Chain A
Amino acid sequence: MSASERPGKGLSRLLTLAILIAVFALAPAALYLAGRSYLYQVANLIMIFALLSASMHLVTGVAGLLQLGHAAFYGVGAYTAALLATRFGLPFPATMPLAGLAAALVAFLVALPTMRLVSIYFAVATLGIGQMLYLIMLNWVDVTKGPNGILLFNALRIFNFDASKPAIAYYVVAVVTVVSILVIHRLSHSYYGNALRALREDDQCAEAMGVETVRLKIQSFTISGFFAGVAGALWAHTAGYVSPADFSFTVSILILSMVVLGGLGSLPGAIVGAVILIGLPELLREFKAGDYRNLIIGLVLFSVILFLPRGLIGEASALDLMRRQFAGAWRRAPDRRGGMGWR
């Protein structure tokens, strides 16, 4: 073990290799053999939600901030990409980073005033802001075309190359998703990740150890917003259509359910959670499971928190996190200056 490595935390190279082979060779081969373009859409959706789940993992699973408005940042990214593509004719390689930056900027502005809120108050603030952004998408008809949504023609264009064929689009989504998740992995499996974990475990104590808690919370929230925005661009360009319904509160809860099902603090868990919660309803489509989807997701979230609080492979208990969220709620700030709920 080299001196700079944290013991027992390296993602084994073998596992990385296996995942890369599955994503870049086995899955496309299976999709090609199945030969149905609908399955490509499902595969893209799974990868997009894996990225959404991975980005929420950083802020909720690792840093312990209950984020109830993640879908809104996903939406900011999707609308940014759609508008840049339709109004200014920008190609995907330009809209994607700009979508990420737009979502990151909104996340940063949201984080500045809310990060000093204690636990559950912060969660409620993210819920409210998520709904506000959703309502803007719905009602700012001049820009977003309201509930009609925005249609992108010739959606996935990489400069002059048309990548919208399902097999090629799959690879575009796969490359962006894998690279983004590797970046998130590097952040969460490092001393930086340790500092964020300390916030989740006991942020006051972390502050006494010299950790700049508010700065780190704002940073992780912003980074998480960036990748949600990138996922939004992927969605806009592969689906070819964005409308507010895709970024509603239920989608935020869906992403949260993925993180909780996989287990708080586990990046592989967050990805497995996305695969299960997107893949399973598709498999059950023939049984009209789609009609009950939100009901099923709610039941999954509820039962996982109660009966499997560490999720499938998590490192921290979701039940404990929830409990602490509420326990902190009626504790006054130690100086009793700021009212209830403020640090």
Chain B
Amino acid sequence: MTALLSIEGVTRRFGGLTAIDDVTASLRHHELVGLIGPNGAGKTTLFNLISGFTPLSAGAIYFKGRRIDRLKPFDIAHLGVGRTFQNLRIFPNMSVFDNVSVGAIGAQGVGVVSTLLRRRGPAEAISEQTWAALRAVGLEAQATELAANLSYGRRKYLEIARALALDPELLILDEPAAGLNDTETQGLADFIRRLHKGGLSILLVEHDMKLVMSICQRVVVLASGRKIADAPPAVVKADPAVLEAYLGVET
């Protein structure tokens, strides 16, 4: 089976610093892959390269066989890549429903003319997709509440719902467990597993090793911008290079 997402020889330099150094990796259809690495390893940079926020210095990124590294973030979203942000970026002054609707709006598009003519079709499609995403994360009861009034944990799900409303093929989650306690992290792990079973391909960037090791099928490890491991969790756990990167052990 061909790769859904493939990253080929990707390099990103910021001035003299090479944040991502010749990384090649891929994610197949319906795969749940974890991306881990110590602080400053370049996880979020790689993430921003995939979603089009930061241009590459070298290399190429393909999604469904299409080269996407020159595309704008909204084009990449239209192709079916939904993302969340490391430091929660919800729309605080909008209701929960309106927050999530933005994902559906992004996918469906909105026009001045169809809005003025009050065309039913586009509005209904957006509404259906929004409700479906709200139901998927269990936020439908809070639909009219202001997003700023949600608890921290609920906001995480709000962000995921907004990305789901895009109806993506690939969901990339940037440190979803950051700031959650053990029980909440467990709940999140079950939720991500359910999404994956529902047919979604997921790339999970995470600090929390336990979460990644417990749910991912394969783990890619970055250290200082380089890929140092790419294997199933059990193998990665025993890899001396990974241990060294995390613990700084001399070998």
Decide whether A and B are members of one complex.
yes
Interface, chain A (partner B; CB < 8 A)? 3-8, 183, 186-187, 190-192, 194-195, 197-198, 200-202, 204-213, 219, 223, 265, 315-317, 334-337
A211:B143 contact, CB within 8 angstroms: no
Chain B: CB-nearest residue to A210: B106
Chain A: CB-nearest residue to B168: A210
> What residues on A are CB-neighbors of B102 within 8 Å?
194-195, 198, 206, 209, 211
A209:B126 contact, CB within 8 angstroms: no
B93:A201 contact, CB within 8 angstroms: yes
A8:B105 contact, CB within 8 angstroms: no
Q: Is B223 an interface residue (CB 8 A)?
A: no
CB-defined interface of B162-201 with A at 8 Å, one 1/0 digit per residue? 1100100000000000000000000000000000000000
Interface residue from A4, A201, A219 paired with B123 (Cβ < 8 Å): A4
A208:B105 contact, CB within 8 angstroms: no
A194:B93 contact, CB within 8 angstroms: no
Chain A: CB-nearest residue to B125: A4
Q: How far is the CB of A308 from chain B (nearest CB, A)?
A: 16
Given contacts A4-B127, A186-B116, A334-B53, contact A210 B78 (CB under 8 A): yes
B54:A334 contact, CB within 8 angstroms: yes
Chain B: CB-nearest residue to A315: B93
B128:A3 contact, CB within 8 angstroms: yes
**Cα(A187)–Cα(B122), bound, Å:** 14
> What residues on B are CB-neighbors of A190 within 8 Å?
110, 115, 123
**Residue of B92, B109, B110 with most chain A CB atoms under a 10 A cut-off:** B110
**Cα(A69)–Cα(B102), bound, Å:** 29
Which range holds the interface residue count of chain B?
Answer: 35 or more
**Cα(A5)–Cα(B203), bound, Å:** 34
Given contacts A7-B143, A211-B74, A212-B74, contact A192 B115 (CB under 8 A): yes
**Cα(A284)–Cα(B94), bound, Å:** 38
**Residue of A3, A7, A209, A316 with most chain B CB atoms under a 10 A cut-off:** A209
**Residue of B78, B98, B107 with most chain A CB atoms under a 10 A cut-off:** B98
Given contacts A191-B123, A202-B89, contact A209 B106 (CB under 8 A): yes
B128:A316 contact, CB within 8 angstroms: no
**Cα(A254)–Cα(B110), bound, Å:** 32
> What residues on B are CB-neighbors of A316 within 8 Å?
93
Q: How far is the CB of B241 from chain A (nearest CB, A)?
A: 30
B95:A207 contact, CB within 8 angstroms: no
Given contacts A205-B89, A207-B72, A219-B112, contact A6 B97 (CB under 8 A): yes
Q: Supply 15 A–B pairs (Cβ within 8 Å), ascending by A.
A: A4-B127, A8-B97, A183-B116, A187-B116, A192-B110, A192-B112, A195-B105, A198-B91, A198-B102, A201-B92, A204-B53, A206-B106, A207-B72, A208-B85, A209-B77
**Cα(A225)–Cα(B36), bound, Å:** 49
> What residues on A are CB-neighbors of B98 within 8 Å?
6, 194, 197
CB-defined interface of B39-64 with A at 8 Å, one 1/0 digit per residue? 00000000010010111000000000
Interface residue from B15, B53, B54, B118 paired with A208 (Cβ < 8 Å): B53
Given contacts A335-B55, A336-B14, contact A210 B74 (CB under 8 A): yes
**Cα(A200)–Cα(B102), bound, Å:** 12
> What residues on B are CB-neighbors of A213 within 8 Å?
74
Chain B: CB-nearest residue to A219: B112
Q: Is B11 an interface residue (CB 8 A)?
A: no
Chain A: CB-nearest residue to B80: A210
Q: Is B124 an interface residue (CB 8 A)?
A: yes
**Cα(A6)–Cα(B107), bound, Å:** 17
B77:A210 contact, CB within 8 angstroms: yes
B112:A208 contact, CB within 8 angstroms: no
